[in-house]
């Protein structure tokens, strides 16, 4: 390292130490100070709350549930946000971002990440909900478990600044795990929070968090989150396909269907979802709507399938679509390619209940439809 670089690094460290010293010298006791925390149930947000509670500040939490990334997202994160809130001894408010979230997802102002993940716009919606709760309880600032540079799209300095500015939360968001690497926030400058007790963790390594967990006596800390479904490449394909062909705004039911089964694009008006196991078959039955066609083999073991239309079906293609859907369904049943089998087809709206005797598709035939 050159002498200039060494001198520059020393100057930066000296400035940070001076800031920390000045801010800490203003710290005062204030038992009435309240903060709101965005709580996911994961380790980072849990640690952030503990670090602030340790300074004698009252904390309440807001947990955000979206159609894709929440505290029980099905990705195996194991996060139990209610259990965590109870363990932390803090009040918890849960908020579901539904149709408004889907509207944002179709055209996010700040675009997508590697998949269909609108991370910056998503965080902005979360901040807005937390801000509402802050106003309701008279909280002074917001706490998050965000770690600088942990997530490439939403946790860099520029993105964090954009999120704060767009939600009018500049200076009011304290990120305890990385606070020493960032400019002092209002609660620090006002002496409500002691900066020297905050962290300087950055990046994707979990070492710093695990050390803090040990210091707080957290046994068996949760693993790193499995991530938002919208970052998954295969799931993102399904979302893009749905947005491309939907005539109207996709429903929450449409989004739930994206999470299960095998998906096939039949034509511009319709798609087929085929269950992969007994659990998914039962879910498909519960998610089926009165306009959907429900298909299932009658004699051999096989999946439940839903044929769903995005628009009024073209009746000229109706018979062909039902035949193709039946062949795909039989492909994933206990069948032989050179024999015909019976498939039950029902439609609640049309009061249809018919049987179709047909052969299954081959593997190559099926792949031409797969999303």
Average pLDDT over residues 285-302: 96
Average pLDDT (102-122) is 95
Cβ-contact 256, 284 below 8 angstroms = no
pLDDT in tens, 221-263: 877 665 689 999 999 999 999 999 998 889 999 999 999 999 9
Query: 14 pLDDT band (50/70/90 cuts)?
Result: low
**155 in Cβ contact with 44 (< 8 Å):** no
DSSP 332: T
Residues of the chain above pLDDT 90, percent: 77
Q: For residues 19 and 111, which has the higher predicted lDDT (pLDDT)? A: 111
pLDDT at 75: 43
CB 96 within 8 A of CB 89: no
Query: How high does pLDDT run on average in the chain?
Result: 89
pLDDT of residue 73: 44
What are 201-220's pLDDT values in tens digits? 999 999 999 999 999 999 88
Residue of 190 and 70 predicted with greater confidence: 190
State the pLDDT at residue 343: 98
Give yes or no for a contact between 181 and 147, defined as CB atoms under 8 angstroms apart: no
Q: Inform me whether the pLDDT recorded for 78 exceeds 50.
A: no
pLDDT confidence tier of residue 25, bands split at 50, 70 and 90: very low
CATH architecture, domain 16-215: 3-Layer(aba) Sandwich (3.40)
The mean per-residue pLDDT over the stretch 79-87 comes to 88
Evaluate if residue 191 carries a pLDDT over 50.
Answer: yes
Alpha helices in the chain (DSSP H): 3-25, 43-53, 81-88, 99-106, 119-137, 157-166, 186-189, 207-215, 233-245, 252-258, 278-287, 315-331, 363-367
Question: What φ, ψ does residue 326 adopt, rounded to 5°?
Answer: -65, -40
Predicted pLDDT at 273: 98
Residue spans of the domains in the chain: they are 16-215, 260-367
DSSP state of 202: B
Model pTM? 0.84
**Does 16 score more than 80 pLDDT?**
no
User: How far apart are alpha carbons 46 and 217 in whole angstroms?
Assistant: 12
**For residue range 315-330, what is the model confidence (pLDDT) as tens digits?**
677 889 999 999 999 9
Both tokens assigned to 305: 């399938």
> Quick one: how far is CA 163 from the chain centroid?
17
């Amino acid at each position: 390292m050159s002498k200039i670089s060494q001198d520059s690094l020393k100057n930066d460290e000296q400035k940070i130490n001076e800031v920390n010293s000045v801010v800490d010298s203003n710290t005062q006791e204030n038992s009435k100070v309240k903060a709101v925390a965005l709580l996911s149930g994961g380790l980072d947000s849990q640690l952030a709350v503990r670090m602030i509670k340790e300074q004698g500040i009252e904390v309440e939490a807001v947990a955000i549930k979206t159609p894709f990334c929440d505290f029980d997202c099905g990705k195996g994160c194991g996060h139990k946000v209610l259990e965590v809130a109870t363990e932390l001894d803090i009040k918890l408010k849960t908020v579901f971002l539904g149709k408004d979230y889907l509207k944002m997802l179709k055209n996010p102002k700040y675009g997508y990440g590697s998949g269909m993940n609108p991370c910056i716009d998503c965080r902005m919606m979360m901040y807005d909900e937390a801000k509402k709760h802050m106003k309701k309880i008279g909280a002074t600032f917001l706490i998050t478990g965000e770690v600088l540079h942990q997530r490439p799209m939403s946790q860099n300095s520029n993105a964090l600044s954009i999120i704060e500015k767009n939600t009018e939360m500049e200076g009011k968001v304290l990120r305890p795990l990385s606070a020493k690497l960032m400019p002092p926030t209002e609660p620090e400058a006002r002496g409500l929070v002691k900066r020297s007790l905050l962290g300087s963790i950055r990046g994707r390594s979990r070492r710093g968090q695990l050390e803090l967990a040990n210091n707080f006596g957290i046994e068996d800390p949760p693993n790193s989150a499995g991530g938002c479904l919208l970052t998954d490449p295969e799931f993102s394909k399904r979302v893009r396909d749905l947005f491309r062909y939907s005539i109207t705004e996709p429903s929450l039911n449409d989004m739930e269907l994206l999470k299960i089964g095998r998906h096939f694009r039949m034509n511009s008006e319709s798609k087929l979802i085929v269950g992969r196991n007994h659990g998914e078959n039962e879910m498909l039955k519960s998610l089926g709507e009165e306009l959907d066609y429900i298909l299932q083999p009658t004699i051999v073991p096989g999946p439940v399938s839903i044929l769903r239309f995005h628009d009024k079906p073209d009746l000229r293609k109706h018979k062909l679509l039902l035949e193709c859907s039946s062949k795909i369904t039989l492909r994933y049943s206990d069948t032989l390619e050179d024999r015909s089998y019976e498939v039950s087809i029902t439609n609640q709206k049309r009061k249809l209940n018919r049987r179709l005797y047909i052969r299954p598709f081959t593997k190559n035939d099926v792949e031409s439809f797969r999303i």
